[in-house]
Amino acid sequence: STVQLSSTLFTLATTLVMPFYTIMILAPKKTWTKRVIESNIPHVVLGAMYTYLLSISWTPNTLHYMFATKHYLPELAGITQMFASTVTVASAWVHLLAADLFVGRQIYLEGLEHNIETRHSLILCLMFCPIGMICHIFTKVL
């Protein structure tokens, strides 16, 4: 069923990102870490998972839920209805994982380039990406 498949992809995507954060945090200066993190493969895989989940979660009402107002702006009530589906929540989770890993990658690579400590920002980025970004910005300034 689509619910089972979305649950499996949810778990796979969650598991997929963990080794990348682990090596960025535990072995940031290793040359093999940089090589692995520079690869686009995890981003392509997460993007493919997201695209698939989005395609099976799409309904005729999706755009209506997203742009329900007369000004075609998202409205919280419509977005809440859209996320009532398990498959939609799984697609949103994979979307977040993909974006968070991309941001984490940028933080890591920028840290290497400018010799900035990034482990604390990456730990935050893994769980609370916007806070990890802010932390990295402040770390660069300090």
Amino acid 5: pLDDT? 96
How far apart are the C-alpha atoms of 60 and 64, rounded to whole Å?
8
Torsion sign over Cα 125, 131, 135, 141: positive
Amino acid 9: pLDDT? 98
Residues 6+ apart with CB under 8 A from 35: none
For the chain, what are the domain ranges? 2-104
Task: Give the model confidence (pLDDT) of 46-103 as tens digits.
Answer: 999 999 999 999 988 888 888 877 777 888 888 898 899 999 999 999 999 999 999 9
How far apart are the C-alpha atoms of 134 and 121, rounded to whole Å?
8
**Segment 31-37 mean pLDDT:** 98
pLDDT of 35 > 90? The answer is yes
- pTM for the model: 0.92
Task: Give the model confidence (pLDDT) of 97-124 as tens digits.
Answer: 999 999 999 999 999 999 999 999 999 9
DSSP string, 64-124: HHHT-STT----HHHHHHHTTSHHHHHHHHHHHHHHHHHHHHHHHHHHHHHT---HHHHHH
Amino acid 111: pLDDT? 98
Residues 6+ apart with CB under 8 A from 25: 119, 122, 123
Structure tokens at 102: 């991309």
